[in-house]
Amino acid sequence: MTKPDFSDEMLMRFADGELDPQTAAAIEAAMETDDDLVARVGLFIETRAEAKSALKPLLDEPVPEKLATAVERMVREKQAREAAVPPSVKVIPLRPAVPKNVAVRHWTLPLAASIAAVIGGLTGYWLALSPVGEQSGLQVAGVDSAALYQALATVASGQEKQLAPSQRFRAIATFRDSAGAVCREFEVDSPDRSTVISVACRQAETWRFSFAVVAPGTDSGYAPASSTEALDAYLTAIDAKAPMEAAEEATLLRAIAAK
């Protein structure tokens, strides 16, 4: 009797169910009379079963807390980013970007002339700019400019102040722009939990608002990171200096408030 010659690889494919039906049938037929063949096929079946059961305990092992926590945090951050990024973040360039080689006199242009666009759309909350005149500047629903101006001149960075029952002002930092003007980065939370991130700079004895982003708020009150990216880009564009120390800021704010 001549035995058909089956390679180990072929027998393995048979054992793994990866062989065409015709060859599989031939092997099955041969196995009926060939114990060696049965043993060779059996080896592949056994090694698969043994490997699987040997590594089963690893699957039942609890994932170390440190790892699980780290991954869960990454997932949450990703979900938060996705929730924050889409159309709800609106960049409002109140001034066109100033090319690096253009002199600083741009900053002295009347505010109204340099307004590019104001994008609204968030219910119950808006930014509006009134013409240069008796009350130029940033207006926030339910907050008069005076309260905002006062907050800008008095609230130390890192501190908060209630402007209106549902309007919370938060000073983030004080710094100088490339022209040496004193600027303040701040946020204002609104009742719908959205947040305006804005930059105001001192020009001609008053505050000029040069940048604002409306971002959906989070439970923490702080604006999501994605919306501060626009701010970072803006700060880079105006060549903002590093935030001031508390003492320097306090001196400057006192001088401004005294005027």
Binding site for other proteins (CB under 8 A): 8-9, 12-13, 16, 18, 35, 38-48, 50-55, 58-61, 63-64, 66-68, 70-72, 74-75, 78-79, 82
**Closest listed residue to residue 17, CA positions, set 35, 50, 41:** 41
Rounded-to-integer distance, Cα 88 and Cα 75, Å? 21
Comparing CB distances to other proteins, the nearer of 35 and 232 is 35
Quote the least distance from Cβ 144 to other proteins, whole Å: 43
> d(Cα 74, Cα 80) in Å, to the nearest integer?
10
Q: How many CB atoms lie within 10 A of CB 177?
A: 20
Name the residue nearer to other proteins (CB basis): 49 or 257.
49
Query: Are the C-beta atoms of 142 and 164 separated by less than 8 Å?
Result: yes
Residue whose CB is less far from other proteins, 198 or 226 = 226
Q: Smallest distance, Å, CB 53 to other proteins? A: 8
Render 182-194 in DSSP notation, one character per residue.
Answer: EEEEEEEE-TTS-
* Cβ nearer to other proteins, comparing 16 with 248: 16
Amino acid at 6: F
Q: Which ranges of the chain does DSSP label H, i.e. alpha helix?
A: 8-15, 21-31, 35-60, 65-84, 145-154, 225-237, 246-258
Distance in Å, CB of 82 to other proteins, minimum? 8
Closer Cβ to other proteins, 75 or 128, answer by number: 75
Which residue, 86, 57, 134, 100, is CA-closest to 239?
Answer: 100
CB of 221 to other proteins, least distance (A): 24
Q: How far is the CB of 44 from other proteins (least distance, A)?
A: 6
